[in-house]
Amino acid sequence: MKHYLFKSIIFLLALSTILSCKQNKQEYNAENALDIRFKNLKKYPVDSLAFPRSYQITKDKIKKVPSKDWTSGFYAGNLWQIYEITKDEAYKNLAKKWTAFIEKEKFNDRTHDMGFKVFCSFGNGLNHENNQEYKDIIVKSAQTLITRYNDTVESIRSWSFNKERWDFPVIIDNMMNLELLFEATKISKDSTFHKIAVKHANTTLKNHFRADNSTWHVLDYNPTKGNVRMRVTHQGINDDSSWARGQGWAIYGFTMAYRYTKDKRYLNQAKATAAFVLNHKNLPEDGIPYWDYDAPNIPNEPRDVSAGAIVASALIELYGFTKEESYLNYSKKFLKNVQTSTYILPGNIEAPFILDHSSGDWSKRAEMDEPIVYGDYYFLEALLRIKSL
């Protein structure tokens, strides 16, 4: 009898645990969870020298950067996009403040990251107000960016560091900066920016892709002869690997370049690299990639939500051009799977970020498996893009 009673108690305890787990799962409300995250961006103090870039959960430490950092434009972009989602003017007011802090970057010719900084901030602002000052800043930034263009290589130089190793490095990420140039031509009617963007895209198309349509990260060119000196990685696991975010930049970059040019070769490259990603044996079932498709310890490697978000956003646009359902299916799956308690930061964390599990820079062993501002940016963009279909 005693034994029977004990067994029954254990059974009831187990049942109530299962039921409460089930209930918790059902009770997880992604909309509420997102709203709480958005409010943490509203609470974050405005500071022109402290753009939130990433967050170490275990140390409760926000990495803050000045406007010259390549990621500075994403925070303002997130606020603009949250304003678009919520229509709450408080986000717009904040977006305007953070956007204004980036203006001085229009003179910064030491990097190629102008598009990330200026277009994700001022460019998003232009979606909400016809602001002449924003337009002028975009055009000035484009003028500065093209000073990095080399007519022999027919590319814009990406980085200026590592001069002992690289003569003229161009990274696949640089495709993303072309949007600023295409828009600068639309605003100013000066075709110089558009033409340089096309030259850069053509050179990237010719040299940056492997036979399987994956992309190398860094190509180093001879700036006086124009030939490729080496094809290597900087942030991937090795030179021949497929760094996940780089594949995302390629798909997004060539889809966007097709939007402005209608050049079918760009569309075909975007489709081919999308196929590489979507059919990759190491793309997990839930659609959230590991940080490098060739990372050695898969499945025990950090994911990179930012890489998935870039692809999800790009594939919604690519779906618009192709009506290829598998693109939309991926984006929907990604958005569904990141809007769960595994990926949305818990409400008790006050840092101004939305999603966990992005991976930044393996070469520095930094920001691996953390909330990162650009993961949030492309997630929000994908949400808005899918809504507007």
Using the rule CB under 6 A, is 173 a contact of ligand GLY?
yes
Paired tokens of 227: 């030939």
Which one is catalytic: 69, 113, 294, 376?
113
Query: What is the number of alpha carbons within 13 Å of residue 38 lying toward its C-beta?
Result: 25
Looking only at residues 112 through 171 of this chain, which bind ligand GLY when binding is defined by CB under 6 A?
none
Q: What stretches of 44-188 show up as alpha helix (H) in DSSP?
A: 72-86, 89-100, 114, 124-126, 132-145, 178-188
- Which C-beta is closer to ligand GLY: that of 96 or that of 245? 245
- Measure Cα distances from 61 to 36, 53, 54, 304 in Å: 19, 11, 9, 20
Question: How far apart are CB 116 and ligand GLY at their closest, in Å?
Answer: 7
Distance (Å) of CA 356 to CA 31, 277, 353, 376: 16, 22, 8, 9
Which is closer to ligand GLY, CB of 92 or CB of 245? Answer: 245
- Can you tell me which of 245, 271, 280, 303 binds ligand GLY, judged by CB under 6 A? 245
**Least distance CB 373 / ligand GLY (angstroms):** 11
Q: How far is the CB of 367 from ligand GLY (least distance, A)?
A: 9
Residue with Cβ nearer ligand GLY (70 or 321):
70
β-bridge partners, 243: 292
| Residues numbered 39-98 forming contacts with ligand GLY, rule: CB under 6 A | 70
**Residue nearest to ligand GLY as judged by C-beta position:** 173
Q: Does residue 221 contact residue 153 with C-beta atoms inside 8 Å?
A: yes
Confirm whether 356 is a catalytic residue. Answer: no
Q: Which is nearer to ligand GLY, 185 or 358 (CB)?
A: 358
CB of 248 to ligand GLY, least distance (A): 9
Single-letter amino acid, residue 14:
A
φ/ψ of 303, rounded to 5, equals -80, 170
172 versus 335: smaller Cβ distance to ligand GLY: 172
Least CB distance from residue 86 to ligand GLY, whole Å?
A: 28
Question: Judged by CB, which is closer to ligand GLY: 39, or 63?
Answer: 63
The Cα-based distances of 212 to 46, 204, 276, 311, 337 in angstroms read 45, 15, 7, 18, 28
Residues 324-363 that bind ligand GLY (CB under 6 A): none
Site size toward ligand GLY, by CB under 6 A: 4
Do residues 219 and 207 make contact, with C-beta atoms less than 8 angstroms apart? yes
Q: Does residue 208 bind ligand GLY (CB under 6 A)?
A: no
Q: Cβ contacts of residue 36 below 8 Å, gap of 6+?
A: 347
- Chain centre to alpha carbon of residue 273: 16
Catalytic residue among 173, 294, 356, 376: 173
Structure tokens at 105: 């970057």
| Cβ 73 to ligand GLY shortest distance, Å | 12
Nearest to 374 by CA among 91, 188, 113: 113
DSSP per position, 219-268: EEE-TTT--EEEEE-SSSSSTTS-BHHHHHHHHHHHHHHHHHH--HHHHH
**Closest to ligand GLY by CB, 125 or 360:** 360
Q: Residue 384: exposed, middle, or buried by beta-carbon count in 10 A (0-12, 13-18, 19+)? A: middle
> What is the distance between the alpha carbons of residues 373 and 73, in angstroms, rounded to a whole number?
9
Q: At residue 371, what are phi and psi to the nearest 5 degrees? A: -70, 130
Positive or negative torsion for Cα 255, 167, 74, 246? positive
Q: Which is nearer to ligand GLY, 74 or 327 (CB)?
A: 74
Residue 113 annotated as catalytic: yes
Q: Which residues bind ligand GLY (CB under 6 A)?
A: 70, 173, 235, 245
Catalytic residues: 113, 173
